[in-house]
């Protein structure tokens, strides 16, 4: 108990000593105008903002790369001449849309021939089956007709499959890339025709240091920016956390889906992102410049009764860029001094600067809490 009282007294002494340094040069000389009783009424102009209750996020700043949600290289599975490419480069296609048509005349003829042969072997097989049942043919003759029927059926299916491959369709909806071939060109098997890329949403891939693994889970939100659109924020959600760490960097691979409604984002882009580690929906928040570290403690000045400055020790929680959560020491709605703390003194008179002077701090608060909204 004695130690607690001594620590509190020492804290107050340190505070007053720190504040007196700022006041030493402000003392009016004896006999100067405004000294004596008039000096006591002197009010220091300060910039103050209200402590607010609002959401706050503890986030981790990272860098990453963007990947396509789905991407496929469209290739031909057979050799042939391209008859048509019914798509425009860069256009959107839907799943099942025709992308390329190869000449099918030779394969169509092969299918017709295989169908005729199949029907003939089927008739022969059915007849020999009856004859074999009546013991009018040998087992060998029956087996031969059965094998020829099976072989002709397999040949027909193969030719039908090859004919089917003369038409190449989009396997999913997306944007078509540039054409790599032209109508009339004879292509070989596995020739690249174009690409289809799903850009409706992208994947952000990034690495998270080992010490933060305990705070990672699927569903965490990210707030992302790219150099091409510095004024825009893109929102995403973690869906994958790597099952192992990279032994050379001691980091985990993490991926998040990112909304791309306006199709501004492209695979391969470099991204700066903030990963939300902890979120508090209702916290007392003040601008960080209001904090005055003194020793191992922190204090603030508030505008108290009769426009006087009041010293408050506070306990600080989470911090974001320019903002701090206050766990104890100040209530929502109280005016916290953010500029003028070096001149103001506890119990001294203060006057508020015009409202415009506080706008940078109130605007910053709105910007900081805006990031929380994408998770709703």
Question: In this predicted structure, what is the pLDDT of residue 14?
Answer: 45
Residue 373 has pLDDT above 50, yes or no: no
Candidates 241, 239, 277; CA nearest to 258 is 239
The pLDDT confidence band at residue 159, using thresholds 50, 70 and 90, is very high
Model confidence pLDDT, tens digit, residues 237-266:
999 999 999 999 999 999 999 999 899 999
pLDDT of the residue at 134: 85
Q: What is the mean pLDDT of the chain?
A: 85
CA–CA separation, 113 vs 295, rounded Å?
94
Q: Which residue has the higher pLDDT, 218 or 59?
A: 218
* Range of weakest confidence among 107-121, 250-264, 279-293: 279-293
Residues 17 and 308: beta-carbon distance below 8 Å: no
Closest CA to 309 of 346, 351, 353: 346
pLDDT at position 345 over 90: no
Compute the distance between CA of residue 288 and CA of residue 300 in angstroms, rounded to an integer. 10
pLDDT reported for residue 23: 43
Kind and range of the H or E element at 207? strand 192-209
Q: Are 16 and 295 in contact (CB under 8 A)?
A: no
Least confident of 45-59, 150-164, 194-208: 45-59
Residue 13, pLDDT > 60, answer no
Whether the Cβ atoms of residue 112 and residue 206 lie closer than 8 Å to each other: no
User: Phi and psi dihedrals of 295, rounded to 5?
Assistant: 65, -130
**Is a pLDDT exceeding 60 seen at residue 218?**
yes
Across the range 10-24, mean pLDDT stands at 47
By C-alpha distance, which of 89, 86, 88, 115 is closest to 102? 86
User: pLDDT for 166-207, tens place per residue?
Assistant: 999 999 999 999 999 999 999 999 899 999 999 999 999 999
User: Percent of the chain beyond pLDDT 90?
Assistant: 56
pLDDT of residue 43 exceeding 90: no
Rg (CA), the chain: 38
Instruction: State the CB neighbour count (10 A cutoff) for residue 196.
Output: 24
CB 286 within 8 A of CB 300: yes
Position 41 confidence tier, pLDDT thresholds 50, 70, 90: low
Nearest-angstrom CA–CA distance, 331 and 318: 16
pLDDT over threshold 60, residue 21: no
Q: How many H helices and E strands in the chain?
A: 5, 19
Q: In the structure encoding, which two tokens stand for residue 309, read together?
A: 């400055």
197: left (phi over 0), alpha (psi -120 to 50) or beta: beta
Q: What angle do CA 191, 92, 68 make, to 5 degrees?
A: 70
On whether the CB atoms of residues 168 and 73 are closer than 8 A, the answer is no
How far CA 336 is from CA of 95, 227, 321, 332, 372, in Å, comes to 58, 36, 18, 10, 24
Question: Phi and psi for 293 in degrees, rounded to 5?
Answer: -70, 130
Instruction: For residues 53 and 39, give the distance between their C-alpha atoms in angstroms, rounded to a whole number.
Output: 37
């Amino acid at each position: 108990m004695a130690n607690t009282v001594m620590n509190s007294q020492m804290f107050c002494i340190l505070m007053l000593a720190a504040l007196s340094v700022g006041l030493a040069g402000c003392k009016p000389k004896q006999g100067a105008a405004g000294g004596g009783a008039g000096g006591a009424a002197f009010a220091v102009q300060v910039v103050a903002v209200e402590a607010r209750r609002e959401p706050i996020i503890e986030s981790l700043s990272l860098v990453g790369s963007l990947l396509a949600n789905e991407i496929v290289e469209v290739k031909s599975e057979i050799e042939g001449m391209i008859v048509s490419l019914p798509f425009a480069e860069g256009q959107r296609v839907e799943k099942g849309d025709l992308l390329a048509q190869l000449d099918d005349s030779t394969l169509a003829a092969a299918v017709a021939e295989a169908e005729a042969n199949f029907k003939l072997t089927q008739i022969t097989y059915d007849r020999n089956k009856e004859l074999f049942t009546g013991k009018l043919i040998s087992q060998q003759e029956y087996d031969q007709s059965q094998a020829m029927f099976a072989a002709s059926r397999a040949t027909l299916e193969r030719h039908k499959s090859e004919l089917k491959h003369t038409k190449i369709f989009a396997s999913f909806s997306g944007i078509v890339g540039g054409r790599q071939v032209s109508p009339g060109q004879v292509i070989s098997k596995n020739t690249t025709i174009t690409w289809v890329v799903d850009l409706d949403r992208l994947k952000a891939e990034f690495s998270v240091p080992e010490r933060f693994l305990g705070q990672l889970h699927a569903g965490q939100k990210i707030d992302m920016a790219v150099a091409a659109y510095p004024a825009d924020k893109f929102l995403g959600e973690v869906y994958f956390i790597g099952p192992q760490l990279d032994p050379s960097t001691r980091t985990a691979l993490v991926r998040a889906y990112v909304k791309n409604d306006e199709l501004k984002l492209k695979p391969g882009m470099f991204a700066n992102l903030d990963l939300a580690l902890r979120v508090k929906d209702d916290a007392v928040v003040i601008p960080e410049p209001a904090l005055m570290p003194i020793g191992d403690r922190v204090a603030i000045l508030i505008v108290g009764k009769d426009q006087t400055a009041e010293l408050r020790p506070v306990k600080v929680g989470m911090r974001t860029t320019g903002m701090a959560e206050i766990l104890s020491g100040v209530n929502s709605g109280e005016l916290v001094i953010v500029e003028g703390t070096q001149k103001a003194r506890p119990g001294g008179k203060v006057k508020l600067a015009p409202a415009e002077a506080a706008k940078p701090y109130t605007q910053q608060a709105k910007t900081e809490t805006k990031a929380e909204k994408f998770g709703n």
